[in-house]
Amino acid sequence: MFSPEADFFKQIPTDPGVYIMKGAKEKVIYVGKANNLRQRVRQYFSKGGDERYFVASGLLAKKLKSIDTVVVANEKEALLLENHLIKEHQPKFNVNLRDDKQYLVLRIDTKKKYPRLQAVRNIRKDGAKYFGPYHSASSCRETMRTINKHFQLRTCTDHVLATRKRVCLQYQIGRCCGPCVHDVPAAEYQEEISAVSDFLRGNQKALQKTLSARMKKLSEEEAFESAAKVRDSLQALERVLDKQMVVQANAIDQDIFAYHRIGASIHLAVLFVRNGKLMGRRVVHHKNDEFDDKEILGDFLTRHYDSGAFVPKEILLTHKLSNAESIQEWLTEISKRKVALLVPERGDKVRLLEMAQQNAKSAASTHVSDRSDTETKLEQIRDRLSLSRIPRLIECFDIAHVQGTDTVASRVVFRDGKPDKKRYKRYNIKNDQNDDYASMYEVITRRMTRALNAEEGSDWEMPDLLIVDGGKGQLGSAIAALDDLGIDHESESGTNVVALAKERKNRHAPERVFRPKVKDAYVLRKNSHELHLLTHLRDEAHRFANSFHGSKRRKRALKSELDSIAGVGPTRKRNLLLKFGSVEGIRNASVVEVASTPGVPLAIAQLVVETLNKQSS
């Protein structure tokens, strides 16, 4: 394990730059940037300095053999150097952003005399123009068919262009100008390329202007048949552009970045808006690490534009990035015009961010982790909480009441990290002591008694992990119930028990987990799998208990007000509620109105109205 000496940090400069962590055989395992290299590197070896799993668990220190630093002039240069080194070395512990699928983009190589339109999978820094990405192959190829039909670009390869002796069928049907055989002026061909670019960017006004000018010129030259073809193409292209979704009243180019996090798994989405119209999207997935949201968002943005993607005038973000000024300066430099990084708080731009977040959330819901992913998450929970085994079957219990009345409990079940709603259960607490500890003791006793008497393979098998909502007191009640039943909770084969508590005075305080015979609580790290899973369990148990408690209270309220009235039985009560909708409706009615209810005589109606109004007062 790498253990730096006291004077190690004195040798590291305090300038901005990049630090390179290396493992065995000088293999780069992590690359990071910092404004102050010494201060940042020191944090990796200070208690609480960096709570990410691969750092806090000691995993990085075990692999680490040496640290190199590179000093640069400013933060922008550090950003670019870090990005370059990550792409070159693919370090094990850096953010690994992966596309949820391989997207198609359309490419035009403007360096060639007669460029053609190609569908490719990757954007490269080769000086070509790229459009997209298209999140379905069918939409990409439909766009290509539309362009081939209405614009006269060549579709043949460079080899065919150089060797063909006779024009092809595309020329004969008027879909190619035949640069393979005819001497087509390069300026005219570039006009066609410009029109195609306007179409692909959704720039309807520029396209209309170009094609209208061409149509007018052909008419003046009395080439009426050609002018008619241009007119028909213009109308057809306008119909295609009109179908695109308008999301912004202002005709502006924007990229919108957002994300959706589930524990240590995060999906990031970017929407492409060109001239106010939504043109496409891209989603990437990052999992099994606990990097800060802003750090991942910044890495995603940097890598996206460093790949050669088009840089719009406005980039909308959910959070302000720590190095936003450096990124903005870099984007302005590569696009040769001013670029704005914005974090909107109101208006249409917030609506666009919500749309991007919904795309990220949708991608997360359709992303199905494989068995190995689930196994890794459960192993992290076992290691972090020092459990005796992997918690494949987890149960969580919660108590709900109002000042000791209508006390109920809930049991929710997660199997392999996912809710098993068929096994959820609600309990009516029998003791009336207004004692949460006694209620927890009762529900754990009832549940575990069923487990002891159950047959093998039933739904009452012993859980791997039992969670109670509360602090040490609730944990003590659960342990007492297990001890009184003779259930093992201390050996490796026993049931693990923990209590999950939230600081009530400070809602921003971290979640804490209490274990038997452990003095200090475990503090769950932000963005970790264990935090997400355990709080999901607790919140689900809380929701389930509260919904049952509310239902019970409503039934009791209804029963106490109507069933206590002499002469009002089940039939009359049903008829009254059907007519007036609620007890409040009956209370606000007159005696005559209540007496008009089928089966309710005047004397009973008068008694009902008097009793309800007396109870209300």
Q: How many residues does the chain have?
A: 617
CA nearest to 516, candidates 545, 552, 488, 553: 488
Q: List, for residues 498-537, the tens digit of each pLDDT value.
A: 998 876 666 666 788 889 888 888 887 776 777 878 888 8
Sign of the four-CA dihedral 137, 142, 148, 150 = negative
The CATH T-level fold of domain 9-94 is GIY-YIG endonuclease (3.40.1440)
Q: List, for residues 382-414, the tens digit of each pLDDT value.
A: 888 888 888 989 999 999 887 777 788 999 999
pLDDT at residue 334, as a whole number? 87
The CA distances from residue 529 to 47, 262, 375, 377, 470, in Å, are 21, 8, 12, 6, 20
Instruction: Give the predicted TM-score (pTM) of the model.
Output: 0.52
Q: List, for residues 310-335, the tens digit of each pLDDT value.
A: 888 999 998 888 888 888 999 998 88
pLDDT at residue 341, as a whole number? 92
Alpha helices in 422-471 (DSSP H): 436-453
247: confidence class by pLDDT, cuts 50, 70, 90: low
Q: Measured between alpha carbons, how far is 327 from 31 in angstroms, rounded to an integer?
A: 18
Average pLDDT over the chain reads: 82
Q: List, for residues 248-270, the tens digit of each pLDDT value.
A: 556 788 899 998 887 767 888 88
Answer with the residue of higher pLDDT: 218 or 301.
Answer: 301
Note the CATH architecture for domain 563-616.
Orthogonal Bundle (1.10)
Q: Return the bridge partners of 281, or none.
A: 271
The CATH number for 375-551, chosen from 3.30.420.340, 3.30.1220.10, 3.40.50.300, 3.40.190.290, is 3.30.420.340
pLDDT at residue 19, as a whole number? 93
Q: Which helix (H) or strand (E) holds 533?
A: helix 529-562
CA nearest to 259, candidates 282, 276, 289, 278: 282
Q: List, for residues 547-572, the tens digit of each pLDDT value.
A: 888 887 777 666 667 777 888 888 88
pLDDT at residue 91, as a whole number? 87
Burial environment of residue 235 by CB neighbours within 10 A (0 to 12, 13 to 18, 19 or more): exposed
The CA distances from residue 352 to 245, 246, 250, 252, 296, in Å, are 12, 11, 13, 13, 20
Q: Measured between alpha carbons, how far is 470 from 394 in angstroms, rounded to an integer?
A: 16
The CA distances from residue 170 to 64, 197, 527, in Å, are 61, 21, 56
pLDDT at residue 316, as a whole number? 93
Q: Tell me yes or no: is domain 254-366 CATH 3.30.420.340.
A: yes
Task: Express as a percent the part of the chain with pLDDT over 70.
Answer: 89
The structural domains of the chain, with segments of one domain joined by +, span 9-94, 254-366, 375-551, 563-616
254-366 and 375-551 share one CATH topology?
yes
The CA distances from residue 162 to 109, 173, 179, in Å, are 16, 21, 10
